Amino acid sequence: MWKGPILVGEPHDTWSGGNYDRDYDQYFDCTSFSIKDGVISTTTDLTRFHFKWRNKDGFESGHVNRLRETKIKFWRQGYATQADANYFSLKLLDKYPNIARSVAMRFPELIIDEAQDTSEIQMGVINKLIENGLENVMLVGDPDQAIFEWNNARPDLFINKFREWEENSVILDENRRSSQNICNVTYKLTSRANPSAAVTEAVKDYEHIPEIICYEQDNIQRTLDYFHRLCEQHRIEINYEKVAVIFRSKSIQNLIFTQPDRVEYPWLVGKYFVRDLAKSKYMAEKGNVYEAFRLIEKALYKGLHNKSYCSTNDLESWISTRGFIHHRKEIMHILRCLPSPTGSIIEWVKQASDILRGNNMPIRMNLQPNCVDCNFDELFKITEDSSARFRVGTVHTVKGETFDAVLLILKEKGAQGSFYRTMLSRGLNTFDDEELRIAYVGMTRPRKLLVIAVPSEQSRTVWEQKLL
């Protein structure tokens, strides 16, 4: 019986292919193809790759062709990423117009939200459906909030569609989230001539005017304390749902929470089931038995079958062969028997190997040769402050969400290296630069209180001149 492709990588499941450090198999989940059939990266973290994509002369390096071969190899084995699925969809609609016509007839109305983040391939799919009879199409989006260009989003495609369909388009200029004071400030970062009209009765006339303050990198707690007091003065309950501290750079999180020193991970490429076995025991000890069970059963399957990936079908087939009750009992038995997740990871792996062999699971568990020894907390602990009752995260993690109060912490420069004050002094806005769009998205999350924290008086002056 034919089974559909196995989707791997975000948002489906982790990919752990590869057998050595420079094995191209490990890059399957972070690469795909462009609309012109070129190999592209689907991650912003180019340090994941052990090579440069282009030679000094500007042409593609030979490594890119190796990536192409890797993609084709795993496609033939039935694996695909979400980006691959989009690519194949466009190819099918282009080659077989009857399929496009059938889809258009079956789904006569198409509504796309967050359309400013549409990629060239996704817009190509929409165009193919329109070419083949789809008439009722609605695109809803805000180009000022296009913050996924790193994931091949093309806000210009959305803008072009607006211009093409302008006679049948509506500009939405009412704000149902924020107070008018927030709207009056944030619109100045955009190309719009006037602010949106706040229309939600509960917050539209809220009196607080957004503030821009300075923070000290060596004493970020002082800024957090000020923000807490402000929330209390305005009787805003400080909890995970109502209050957020957000930032562009994850390095800000290191100022808020004490982070463990960066460790060199001991895992062998292609043998990440060892990591998952250790992590499952660590999670179980921390009380997350459900997730630990899910992790360890896949890890055991990969270790026993020498696989780099365990699909849902693989797992179901394995459970069926073993018997459901027997399988669950044995997995829980192994989880209980594994050594306590304390002390040396090297010693833990040795003990775990002996325990698995004693339970008729002869799995070879190896770490990197001459790896630096470390403990479980260094490897797996997600550092957080239990006293932090508010939401903490990057702007990207809270896109689309609403809070009563937001503290947005910015650095001198955006992630792409441009100084905010340079961009603002040049009169740039959200139409010109994605870094300003990211800041704008952060500023437009709150209903009542907005505080923007910057690292110097010089930056504060420029931001105030722009917004206040």
Query: In percent, how much of the chain has pLDDT > 90?
Result: 68
DSSP for 367-406, written as a single string: B-TTPPP-BHHHHH-----TT--SEEEEGGGGTT--EEEE
Helix (H) or strand (E) holding 121: helix 120-131
Q: How far is CA 96 from the centre of its chain?
A: 33
pLDDT attached to residue 339? 93
Q: Where are the domains of the chain?
A: 6-82, 96-168, 180-256+388-467, 272-380
pLDDT confidence bin for 71, thresholds 50/70/90: very high
- Phi/psi-derived region of residue 370, left when phi > 0, alpha when psi is between -120 and 50, beta in every other case: left
Helices within 25-119 (DSSP H only) = 62-76, 82-95, 97-106
Q: Are 354 and 205 in contact (CB under 8 A)?
A: no
User: Can you give the pLDDT at residue 384?
Assistant: 44
244 and 445 in contact (C-beta within 8 Å)? yes
Q: What number is the average pLDDT over the span 440-459?
A: 97
User: Could you tell me the pTM of the whole model?
Assistant: 0.73
Distance CA 126, CA 118 (A): 10
Q: What is the pLDDT of residue 262?
A: 58
Average the pLDDT over 196-213 and give the result. 98
Fold that domain 180-256+388-467 belongs to in CATH: Rossmann fold (3.40.50)
Would you say residue 1 has pLDDT above 60? no
CA pair distance 320, 385, nearest whole angstrom: 43
First to last CA, the chain: 65
Query: What residue spans of 151-310 are helical by DSSP H?
Result: 155-164, 180-186, 220-233, 251-256, 273-285, 289-305
pLDDT at 385 over 50: no
Lowest mean pLDDT among 43-57, 184-198, 328-342, 393-407: 43-57
Q: Does the pLDDT of residue 45 top 90, yes or no?
A: no
DSSP assignment letter at 302: H
- The whole-number pLDDT of residue 263 equals 65
Task: Please say if the pLDDT value at position 383 is more than 50.
Answer: no
pLDDT surpasses 60 at 382: no
- Indicate left, alpha or beta for 451 from its phi (over 0: left) and psi (-120 to 50: alpha): beta
Determine the Cα–Cα distance for residues 467 and 438; give it in Å rounded to an integer.
15
pLDDT computed for residue 235 by the predictor? 96
* 103 confidence band (pLDDT: 50, 70, 90): very high
Q: Which pLDDT value is given to residue 416?
A: 75
Predicted confidence (pLDDT) at residue 163 exceeds the cutoff of 90 = yes
pLDDT of residue 3: 61
Average pLDDT over residues 34-49: 88
Task: For residue 8, give the nearest of 67, 76, 72, 85 by alpha carbon.
Answer: 85
**pLDDT, tens digit (0-9, with 9 covering 90-100), for 322-343:** 999 999 999 999 999 999 998 8
Q: What is the chain's mean pLDDT, rounded?
A: 90
* Structure tokens, 330: 């044995």
Mean pLDDT confidence for 67-76: 96
DSSP letter string, 403-437: EEEEEEE--SB-TTS-BHHHHHHTT--TTT-HHHH
Give tens-digit pLDDT for 237-267: 999 899 999 998 878 887 887 555 556 789 8
Note the pLDDT of residue 82.
92
- The stretch 430-454 carries a mean pLDDT of 96
